[in-house]
Amino acid sequence: MASAAVIPEREHYLNQEYGIRSWLLTVDHKRIALLYLMSITFFFFIGGFFALLIRLELLTPAGDLVQADTYNKLFTMHGQVMIFFFLIPSIPAVLGNFLVPLMIGAKDLAFPRINLLSWYLYIIAGGLYLHCILTGGVDTGWTFYTPFSTAFSNTKVIEAGLAVFIAGFSSILTGLNFVVTIHRMRAPGMTWSRLPLFIWAHYATSIIMLLGTPVLAITLVLVVLERAFHLGIFDPKLGGDPLLFQHLFWFYSHPAVYIMILPSMGVVSEIVPCFSRKRIFGYQFIALASIMIAVVGFLVWAHHMFVAGISLYSALVFSLLSYLVAVPSAIKVFNWTATMYKGTITFSTPMLYAFGFIGLFTMGGLTGLFLACLGVDVHVHDTYFVIAHFHYIMVGGAVMGYLGGMHYWWPKISGRMYPESWGRLAALTVFLGFNLTFFPQFILGYMGMPRRYWQYPPEFQVLNVFSTAGSTILAVGYVLPMVYFLWSMRYGKIAPDNPWGASGLEWMTSSPPPTFNFEETPVVTWEAYDYANIPAPEEVPVER
């Protein structure tokens, strides 16, 4: 440090120790959350860079910017980086890591060293994947479909597979830590029915991480063994069956969608009551809907394989089960809306993101019903309709929730306020950019433009130009928060302990919290979201 502070500052987790060692060897869940924040942001921009290259290539019908094989690598690496190195760890490993102990009144996660280990596993996996990118990349599509991945592709499939395998263990350890922490570390009085819904959402997410990820792990091991040693499990030439790969892969990778969206739902369940100044409507229903999504989410995987040759009867069952997931999702959307009804709504930045989430997630969810319908799925399978659908869920839903949560808890994390007007501008930019990017893709897909091609017939160009234009706006919207968050760390207003007048134990400790979170272990005697008894903040940081 260049100059010593004149006024002795209050000690908190950020200034208790300095130096690179104190970060790399920390077992404090809050510091590990920041380590994750930096690493996933790095991968988010790498994945985003690939996305921009994809959109640039699709600006014109001809394949002019990149060749077909480069394009294959671009969409593969965009998908794998975004899913395994950004979306899966995003909210759980950053906000969850930071907030789960704070919200339940614990000093740390149950296994702090395992928590640090999970970050190191993530870094090893990320390093391996970066090496894979720099030495030629991988072109199998993010799904590693066999037998292409095991017999035909001559790119770095083994490295990519191992990287995702290791990243999976990082995610398993995070989930394990959360479940044990939520079961065993709650403060006195913090009963299950008093838990914030953010915690319920993370509990459900962790269950999926624990039970789903190992299946992906063993599947990737078998892919690597088949590719490296001709241990035939999936390759028909070696006696195997590629359909088995698809079953095993989607057994994890469909629930993985819920790993991405459930934590965002948890974030929205915190933001909406706070900026409506009302108790959340239907607490038990939202909590149980999270669990139901996790359970039913495990039973729908084969809807990715309706045209892959599965039997008609199993397709019917999986179609029905896929419709069923809409029930708990709709319960949540209705309850958030009902919470806002007659509430005192503030259009602050986190709330704007929450609005964005509810609208875009609803669109993504409803178009998911189209895809769960057997007849419609045959028509739009492997088209841009599917691309638009899952981007509405993963970007419109999951990333909106992530950004909303980052803004909502930024004062707690950094001890500084971000500039509110810039925040709102960025939220609007993201919303507009997102819709301009992905809405045209619904139409393109319905008109029959297939995914994963670098060229297309000229009649699709207008909509593709819209989409590419939108993606540049979206990029601006994503860079803005990074810039003003960094700016606010030095120049932002000092944040009070509870700037939003929010409920929840995390707001009862100082901003930023001390290393062990609370001066003394809190005793909980009130219900969650007790906004009837919480005064609105005296100095409202946001004009109404």
| 205 closest CA partner among 125, 92, 112, 110 | 92
Is residue 219 a contact residue for other proteins (CB under 8 A)?
Answer: yes
Least gap, CB of 221 to other proteins (angstroms)? 8
Which of the stretches 208-216, 263-271, 384-392, 394-402 binds other proteins when contact is defined by CB under 8 A?
Answer: 208-216
> What residues pair up with 145 in beta bridges, in sequence order?
none
Amino acid at 496: P
Task: Using the minimum distance from each CB to other proteins, give the nearer residue, 83 or 215.
Answer: 215
Least gap, CB of 129 to other proteins (angstroms)? 21
Is residue 503 a contact residue for other proteins (CB under 8 A)?
Answer: no
SS3 494: strand
Site string for other proteins, 318-357 (x = CB under 8 A): ----------------------------------------
- Evaluate whether 530 touches 278 at the Cβ level (below 8 Å): no
Amino acid at 97: N
Least gap, CB of 272 to other proteins (angstroms)? 31
The tokens for 534 are 């919480």
Task: Using the minimum distance from each CB to other proteins, give the nearer residue, 145 or 384.
Answer: 145
Is residue 151 a contact residue for other proteins (CB under 8 A)?
Answer: no
| 247 closest CA partner among 209, 226, 207, 218 | 218
Least gap, CB of 180 to other proteins (angstroms)? 5
DSSP symbol at 284: H
Is residue 210 a contact residue for other proteins (CB under 8 A)?
Answer: yes
SS3 539: coil
Task: Using the minimum distance from each CB to other proteins, give the nearer residue, 115 or 468.
Answer: 115
Binding to other proteins in span 163-202, by CB under 8 A: 172, 176-177, 179-181, 183-185
DSSP symbol at 419: P
Instruction: Quote the CA–CA distance of 84 and 36 in Å, as a whole number.
Output: 13
Task: Please report, for residues 10, 209, 248, 279, 302, the alpha-carbon distance to residue 299 in angstroms, rounded to integers and kept in the order given.
Answer: 51, 15, 12, 33, 8
Distance of CA 341 to the CA centre of its chain: 28
Is residue 218 a contact residue for other proteins (CB under 8 A)?
Answer: yes
Binding test (CB under 8 A) with other proteins, winner from 116, 222, 340, 354: 222
- Evaluate whether 85 touches 152 at the Cβ level (below 8 Å): no
Which of the stretches 120-128, 142-150, 196-204, 229-237 binds other proteins when contact is defined by CB under 8 A?
Answer: 229-237
Least gap, CB of 47 to other proteins (angstroms)? 27
Instruction: Quote the CA–CA distance of 116 and 474 in Å, as a whole number.
Output: 33
Binding test (CB under 8 A) with other proteins, winner from 112, 141, 343, 450: 112
State the residues that interact with other proteins by CB under 8 A: 106-112, 172, 176-177, 179-181, 183-185, 210-215, 217-219, 221-222, 225-226, 229-233, 237-241, 244, 247-248, 251, 516, 521
